[in-house]
Amino acid sequence: MKILVCGGAGYIGSHTCVALAARGHDAVIYDNFSNSSPVAVQRIAELAERPVALVEGDIRDAAKLAGALQGVDAVIHFAAFKAVGESCEQPLAYFENNIGGSVTLLQAMEAAGVANLVFSSSATVYGDPDSVPIREDAPLRVTNPYGRTKLVVEDLIGDLCAARPGFNALLLRYFNPVGAHPSGRIGEDPGGIPNNLMPYISQVAVGARDCLSVFGGDYPTPDGTGVRDYIHVMDLAEAHVRAVETLRPGFGCQAVNLGTGQGVSVLELVRAFEEASGRKVPYRVVARRAGDVAMCWADPSRAAELLGWRARLDVRRMCEDAWRWQSANPAGYVAG
């Protein structure tokens, strides 16, 4: 299949493009490089062992999307702003980019006759859950603007599928992606101070930052720090391949959790990283971060049933691969 990957040069998108190529699919990367690097595209091609098509464009550019969608069989939509804390400070920017851009993409897909979509959603749509593990039928009650953009786009896609029976979509609700490609050639390269825990830990370990800030030590959890379901990005990439291969006429719109089903606290992840890397990670506990919840992990059984997919890689492997990427690329993506 020929698949347009919006946000394909980003963290999860880049790994998914490599996984698509390994399955014989042709990925077309669509990215404006606002939170990614052209170097990632070069490295995707290196790992895929073949050229990868690139269209440099913004998700809100209808004309550019129209051209990029020609001859495409399906779309995987990653393109979005994605920092919870930043979304609380800049909600309008998140609404305009994440929701407005998604509407533009859906309109362009409809005009081009492309009827299969895999959407990068998030476990943030569940907000602060009543209980864990979280099933797909749990209440949806977001606690931050980022999560609200994901939920609104889920609803928009569901409405389009209801109005256009030929349109099919999978809404993939990720928990917490971490790790990197085992080659160390592609990985997570956030700009500035990382919003996500693993790159923050790895930057401290490599010496790029002095100390890890642990946001909140007074949560109702065993060690007081937030508990999350960390999933290896390579497992996540494989789930996207399974998802795009699962879509078929009459599929409709369905939501699926992507996680391991196991909760790991911030301090547990720090200790696992120290063991995997052989480096100490000094940390200090600071105030809670706006929009964060205490505990969040998945019931991944629906993904197993619908996609035939289960996460395979454990926390040790997540830390080893993250460290391999960070130690080989201490400044992130640079040419070469």
Q: Which residues are catalytic?
A: 146
Number of neighbours of residue 316 by Cβ within 10 angstroms: 12
**Separation between Cα atoms, residue 320 and residue 273, nearest integer Å:** 7
Asked if 227 and 270 count as a contact pair (C-beta separation under 8 A), the reply is no
**Separation between Cα atoms, residue 318 and residue 314, nearest integer Å:** 6
Listing DSSP states for 162-206 in one string gives: HH-TT-EEEEEEE-EEE---TTSSS----SSS-SSHHHHHHHHHH
Cβ within 8 Å of residue 85, ≥6 positions away: 195, 289, 290, 291
Number of neighbours of residue 221 by Cβ within 10 angstroms: 17
Number of neighbours of residue 67 by Cβ within 10 angstroms: 12
**Separation between Cα atoms, residue 280 and residue 78, nearest integer Å:** 33
Residue bearing tokens 């050639």? 185
β-strand partners of 170: 118, 254
Rg (CA), the chain: 19
Residue type, 281: V
**Separation between Cα atoms, residue 145 and residue 174, nearest integer Å:** 17
